[in-house]
Chain A
Amino acid sequence: MYGWVGKILKVDLSERKITTEPTEDYIDEYIGGRGLGARLIYNEYKPGTDALDPGNPLIFNTGPLTGTALPGSGRVDVTAVSPMSRLRAKSNFGAYWGPELKYAGYDHIVIMGKSEKPCYLSIRDGQVEIRDAAQLWGKDTFETQKLIQQELGDSETKVVCIGPAGERLVRFACLITETGDAAGRTGMGAVMGSKNLKAIAVRGSGSVQVARPAEFLEQSIQVNREIREHPAYAELSQWGVARGVHMMYAMSFFPVGYFEDVCWEELLEKYQGPAYVEKYSMKNMGCFCCPNRCMNFFSVPGIGKGLTSCEPFSGFTGAVWNLDMDVFWEATLLVNKMGIDCTETSATIGLLMELYHDGIITAKETDGVAMERGSKEAILSTIRKIAGREGIGDVLAEGQMAAAKQFGPDAVEKVDQVKGLAPHGYEFRAFKGTGLMQAVGHRGDPLPLRGSLLEVDWHHAPEWFQSVGKEQFGSEEAAIPTSYIGKAKSTIISEHMERVPDSLGICKWLYNLFIYNDVKMATRLFGMVTGKDWEIEQMMEAGERVRNLERMFDVRQGLRRVDDSLPKKFFEVPLSKGKYKGEVMDREKFEQMKDEYYELRGWNKESGVPTRAKLEELGLRDVADEVLGSN
């Protein structure tokens, strides 16, 4: 087989049974990666099973392009049922583990059951072993990786693991590989912890076969060059996102505090991210075969070394009212070592700060620590307590809502969540399309979708990006942040586009968002590697099939139109200052965008459920029969 290595590994930890199944049966409809993973979980999960029950399958998905000589080919998609929402979880991580899994002989891993004792999985060139992890239990994610490499006597073994937070079933625990690559969101660490599974170590000397190697080599060298000549590259490979964060705050696109407002003058004036990069970043690094290097490797004396990108730069600054970059770095390193999702953790701390600020809680509720805005002690001690489930951390580990219920109804009123997740890190009041994408999205965060970033790009050259909006999404208004027009269509197209790189096992930053703004290049590369010369339309149809299947999984879990919403703050509290002063999401217009979205999708407008006709058109008759009932 070209592209795919051909096998799905199935591990039952209760029975200690290891089997395989061919990948080939699924690829024409679901490609691989996220798409195929969605089909696997739909098939394997029995409705009614609790997220932390042994019956919840934990599934790792690489795609046909993962591990090929191609920029951004290091991605892995992870799915299970989320302990935060009871909907389908989805998280994606990069670095070097995914390619190694393919070289070891597998496209996907499905993990079922629960080991009697702590264990880890070792996969070496088709040899799969369930090994004892007693000596690893309690270790942080950095130590765990080192100890496994030592035990197996191979420093090139790639490890994805959980930290102490995952072992203790913190509901937003994550998976970590290397020093800062995470399957961060939706609580995959808790699911792995519930199986008594500490880590998966992989090592392979195999290969990914390529259908047209000479053509692929030439094209891939070209892609490498195009990326390096792109303006986004100059920024990301040197600064990571550190400078972009400030720009986002200036445009009221990132929340300050717990979405209390979006303009914090002090932050705009004093944000030290870029200076910190200049002072402490040893080098920029990226994932497998990627020239783009969007992550900073910091080495800070007295705090430590590691990688970070993206959300910590706003999560541990603006979202918790912090301007001290040492605190940002200590917090980031701590969540990565403990294995908890930075985004949910910073939002949780932001919530406590808002409650404290508004006098709803006092230091008494938080073990004597005053949750003052920006307080170093408040930030760091809360992280430690969540990871260790100590004091107030025990209930915080159950999620924001569980904690708020303990504090009382005023606190419950304050909780901003969408589908059980903190909707950080974008702000939606001025960005209507982003708001819609967030609300109807498969998980409760906005994820960078192309249509959403178009609303950001618009600020740089309004007329140009309006013409892009017209060309790509059928309407100039699609690019204008404050307009409600054309957003349903841009959401739909962006959603299908997003599923293409995710299913191919490549980076959507490169092949969707920043370098190539559509799926043409990804589709071409797919053809050269696999020998399947699909048209763009066929690729986008696979994206639509995956989107509908994912929706049906959640419909089977009870999801309906009413769940596609935003916290009421976004409808009721206008922005008090900044560039978009006075902006608020208009509820009626918001619901109209949703109507338009469901109609264009071929979904039932009242319930938000895909129609039988749409499902049959996409070849999902069996899913329609099971979930909608056969008639």
Chain B
Amino acid sequence: MFKTVIIDAQKCSGCRSCETYCSLKHESLCAPSRGRIHVIKWEQEGIFVPVSCMRCEEPSCELVCPKHATYRNYSTGAMEVNANLCIGCMSCIFACPFGATFMDQSTGKVLKCDLCDGDPTCVKVCPTGALTYEEISQETMLKLIANAEKIPRLVREALGKNEQAAAG
């Protein structure tokens, strides 16, 4: 059973806790620019979108790496980077379709979410539930039900109207 971080941007309040706590956890200092997650903000519209590694099934970052430094950690599902093999060519950063592979500007090192070995810090501190750590199968099942549920709701609504019309 794989668990993953699910992002619900509608709930995000843009507080940047995820970025900052992430840098404290991984880099032992406070610097949102060195987080492995970033929040893109439209503050005048109240819209905020957290972006982080999506752990693709066929990850571009892994495919383009000339040194095979990027690999999947099969115990968590996270894509990780072996710093000893990484030559800092940034291919993975540019290949990522989500822009979710980041670079530490002070060291040139690649920053990639490793799910904190299965206990993600960002999820612990996210106050709004915009970030959750869920079992994928359960989450997709919930989505499936939420989506399918529209049909019985419409049917009930239509029946209700018919009944009202019949009564009226």
Contact = CB atoms under 8 A, between A and B. Distances in A.
B124 A289 contact: no
Contacts of A90: none
A457 B32 CA distance: 37
B15 A291 contact: yes
Interface in A171-185: 178-179
A285 B45 contact: no
Contact of B15 (A103, A155, A179, A290): A290
Contact of A305 (B16, B17, B46, B125): B46
Contacts of A286: 13, 15
Contacts of B14: 285
B35 to A, nearest CB: 10
B127 A285 contact: no
Given A142-B44, A289-B15, A289-B16, A208 B125 contact: no
A497 interface: no
A220 B46 contact: no
Interface in B32-88: 32-34, 41, 43-46
A525 B121 CA distance: 19
A288 B16 contact: yes
B28 A210 contact: yes
Contacts of A293: 13, 15, 127-128
Interface class of chain B by DSSP: mixed
B9 to A, nearest CB: 11
A287 B28 CA distance: 22
A283 B42 CA distance: 14
A220 B29 contact: no
A238 B159 CA distance: 36
A5 B128 CA distance: 30
A156 interface: yes
A213 B24 contact: yes
Contacts of B29: 207-210, 213
B157 to A, nearest CB: 24
B125 A207 contact: no
Contacts of B125: 221, 224, 291
Given A103-B33, A224-B124, A228-B127, A69 B43 contact: no
Contact of B13 (A99, A285, A306): A285
B141 interface: no
Interface in A277-309: 282-293, 297, 299, 305-307
Interface of A is mostly: mixed
B46 A146 contact: no
B30 interface: yes
A145 B17 CA distance: 23
B106 interface: yes
Contact of B23 (A69, A71, A178, A292): A69
A178 B14 CA distance: 12
Chain B, interface size category, equals 20 to 34
A305 B44 contact: yes
A175 B127 CA distance: 28
B21 A237 contact: no
A324 B23 CA distance: 46
A205 B30 CA distance: 11
A287 B15 CA distance: 6
A186 interface: no
Given A69-B30, A207-B34, A293-B13, A283 B21 contact: no
Contacts of B27: 207
Chain B CB within 10 A, most for which of A96, A142, A207: A207
A586 B31 CA distance: 53
B161 interface: no
A130 interface: no
A155 B49 CA distance: 14
Contact of B41 (A156, A207, A228, A289): A156
B101 interface: no
Given A207-B30, A213-B28, A282-B46, A224 B127 contact: yes
Interface in B120-152: 121, 124-125, 127-128
Contacts of A207: 23, 27, 29-31, 33-34, 106
Contacts of A237: 127
Contacts of B24: 68-69, 210, 213, 216-217, 220
A96 B28 contact: no
- Most chain B C-beta atoms within 10 Å of own C-beta, residue among A69, A156, A214, A288: A69
A285 B17 CA distance: 13
A221 B21 contact: yes
Contact of B124 (A221, A283, A290, A306): A221
Contact of B30 (A67, A146, A156, A297): A67
Given A217-B21, A220-B21, A285-B46, A205 B15 contact: no
A141 to B, nearest CB: 11
A221 B121 contact: yes
B31 A206 contact: yes
29 contacts: A68-B20, A69-B24, A103-B33, A142-B44, A146-B44, A156-B41, A179-B43, A206-B33, A206-B106, A207-B27, A207-B29, A207-B31, A207-B34, A216-B24, A217-B21, A217-B24, A217-B121, A225-B124, A237-B127, A282-B46, A283-B11, A283-B13, A284-B13, A285-B14, A286-B15, A289-B15, A291-B15, A291-B125, A293-B128
Given A216-B24, A220-B21, A289-B15, 7 more contacts: A207-B27, A217-B21, A225-B124, A285-B14, A293-B13, A305-B45, A306-B44
Interface of A: 67-69, 71, 96, 99, 103, 142, 145-146, 155-156, 178-179, 204-210, 213-214, 216-217, 220-221, 224-225, 228, 237, 282-293, 297, 299, 305-307
The 3 closest A-B pairs by CB, nearest first: A291-B127, A207-B31, A213-B28
